[in-house]
Homo-oligomer: A and B are copies of this chain.
């Protein structure tokens, strides 16, 4: 067996449990259960753009799959399987060992099976396509699915955010030397950047509760913006509810006021609104679901914070605790406009 294939065999091939046929043939084979639909998503991570070349390969393996599982979570789909296309500058056994361990540990945690892939020499690039399943729903129009879509938000809906926001962006600035984070808070923020936990269980639990959902990968303003665009509506976003979601600021020695005094108040807002790399969910639900959503937050031990209200008027309006408007010049992180 030649080098490339031996390499794949060694690090990425394991017995197939869910697929009809796994790694090793021209195609993998997968059979979905009757009444189920496949949810499919692809993400590509490029060295120097989405991660530093010297990132711990174990964390990189974890994150490469995490960002894809986050897309399944946003649809409320249950993970099934994934393919991996990997371009590497050189055949580096310790790197592959650690990368595959990080990747497959997260895969195992979500019962998501590696069923195929491609390995080649080239600039370090990781492309994963993930497959999940979600029940069909022939009664639902215009898309006959029980999957959560971006297009279902309606005026009057509450808008929620899961977990915390902005700490990953803060960690990135610290790694880039733009700011100095105090030692006790630094590893936690870095953990948020390098080892995000995709909200797969939350997404599935939200299927009967939420009207629309997206994952927050490019920043809240941008990703809530996708929901608003596809739902043809707008939202009023209460910034006083958002700022406490920046965990580093809450835990700062001297409290949030000291954080703002140290870094300047716009930093917290920038990180929370447009930081990127959060991999939390932003979702909408009618006010009738408030009790159920609060109960779900308790069950999952995960904050689900009501931060905005959907309105008929298009656009995103940022307001303070008193409802007074804020400047809305926070763009989503975007690979081509920055």
Contacts and interface: CB of A to CB of B under 8 A. Distances in A.
Interface of A: 1-5, 7, 20-21, 24-32, 34, 36-44, 46-50, 71-72, 74-75, 77, 81, 83-87, 91, 115-123, 125, 127, 129, 131-132, 134, 136, 143-145, 147, 149-151, 213-215, 222, 226, 229-230, 331-332, 334-337
29 contacts: A1-B229, A3-B336, A3-B337, A7-B336, A20-B136, A20-B145, A21-B143, A21-B145, A25-B75, A25-B149, A26-B41, A26-B72, A26-B150, A27-B39, A28-B40, A28-B41, A29-B38, A29-B40, A40-B83, A40-B131, A44-B122, A46-B122, A48-B122, A50-B120, A83-B129, A85-B129, A87-B125, A118-B127, A121-B336
B120 A42 contact: no
Question: How many copies of this chain?
Answer: 2
Contacts of A337: 2-4
A316 to B, nearest CB: 13
Nearest to A203: B26
Given A25-B75, A229-B1, A335-B121, A37 B41 contact: no
Which one of A119, A122, A144 has the greatest number of beta carbons of chain B within 10 Å? A122
Contacts of A4: 334-337
A147 to B, nearest CB: 6
B27 A71 contact: yes
Given A39-B27, A40-B131, A42-B129, A3 B147 contact: no
A76 to B, nearest CB: 10
A44 B118 contact: yes
A21 B118 contact: no
A39 B193 CA distance: 34
Nearest to A21: B143
A25 B132 CA distance: 14
A142 to B, nearest CB: 10
A129 B132 contact: no
